[in-house]
Amino acid sequence: MNAKLIKTGKVIDNKEILAVELTNNKGTYVKIYNYGAIVSKFVVVNADGEKQDIVLGLDDFEDYVQTDYLENYPYLGAVIGRYANRIKNGEFSIDGVPFKLAQNNGSDCLHGGLRGFDRRVWDILPTIDPSVTLQYLSPDGEEGFPGNLAVQLTFKLTDENELILDYKATTDIPTAINLTHHGYFNLSPKGGNIGSHIHHMPASYYLEQDSNYVVTGKLVAVEGTIHDFLGPKPIAQDWNAQEGYDQTYVLDKEYGTLTLASETSEAESGLTLSVYTTEPIAHFYTGKYINVRNAKGGKDYHAFEGFCVETQHHPNAINIPAFPGTVLRPGEEYHQTTIFKIGLTSI
């Protein structure tokens, strides 16, 4: 396996935009930008021996910063921080001190605010293993969050066809943190609607949401609902065809252990994507709001043409004391690991 740096010729915030290419001996290839830690390509060999790109993305880097893309911004393949998903009313308190964030999704704060980690230039650090480590230093007050936060995200592509994402962070002031990665997957060789993909998620409960998809604090059993993925089933089997899924699931696991979060397969390609994580929840999103023109190969992306498994802590947990804590304090280290593993269901 090897890692290769490629210059894009672009500069943002006085920093050079670079692409990192990781390859392994299985023919798998991943392309990552240091802008937003965007995974723009994830090429694997399917059951027919054909190379297939399984993530939604754009052909050229400059397309990720174009106005028309950002107007219907789907966060294609980007890291999310400081705080994934929605924070109610864009506000929270730590130790009795209130903080106010941008209300960039109705009255709520979504995915870190107006310009989160997905639109920042990360530094590329030297690494010993065949991997790449990106670092971003988020200053105190950025997007309203307290504390100087140092974040490192390491991507490692193994010869077992695992793309490992390992996150670490430290702060000098107590702050709220909840990181994830927003990759959109489609395992079909032809792309298109992902409703026929077979999906399994070991989660007996999901989190109730209000009308703006903000978690309320209530857990609801999946049994007898459209949200039951305890047994594998087609994604579209029970869904509301106009809404799809945009729901947070509480994984059946011991807190902090690295276990299966989901498994998704597609018959024509013979590919299976298994997601493992140390995080307590996975947010399953089937792309209702995807609307991207002139994406890879000149294609347009439409609703329900990609799915996300966003591993993280409970959304809005900073405002819900009963949920696992998302406050990071000086002297502590935030750490989470998520693995995207590719396998074959047929050969």
Contacts of 230 (CB under 8 A, 6+ apart): 200, 201, 202, 203, 204, 222
- What single letter denotes the amino acid at residue 227? H
Please say whether the beta carbons of 85 and 248 come within 8 A.
yes
Question: Sheet containing 29-33: which strands, arranged edge to edge?
Answer: 2-12, 15-23, 29-33, 39-45, 51-53
* Active site positions, annotated: 182, 310
For the record, the structure tokens of 171 come out as 């702060």
Please say whether the beta carbons of 87 and 103 come within 8 A.
no
Going by the DSSP 8-state scheme, the letter that residue 288 receives in this structure is: T
| Phi-psi sector, 139: left (phi>0), alpha (psi -120 to 50), beta | beta
Length of the chain: 347
Please say whether the beta carbons of 287 and 74 come within 8 A.
yes
- What single letter denotes the amino acid at residue 301? Y
- A 10 A CB-CB count for 237 gives 12
Taking the CA atoms of residue 42, residue 46, residue 51 and residue 55 in that order, the dihedral angle to the nearest 10 degrees is -30
Instruction: Give 131: exposed, middle or buried? Use CB within 10 Å, 0-12, 13-18, 19+.
Output: middle
Contacts of 173 (CB under 8 A, 6+ apart): 140, 146, 147, 148, 330
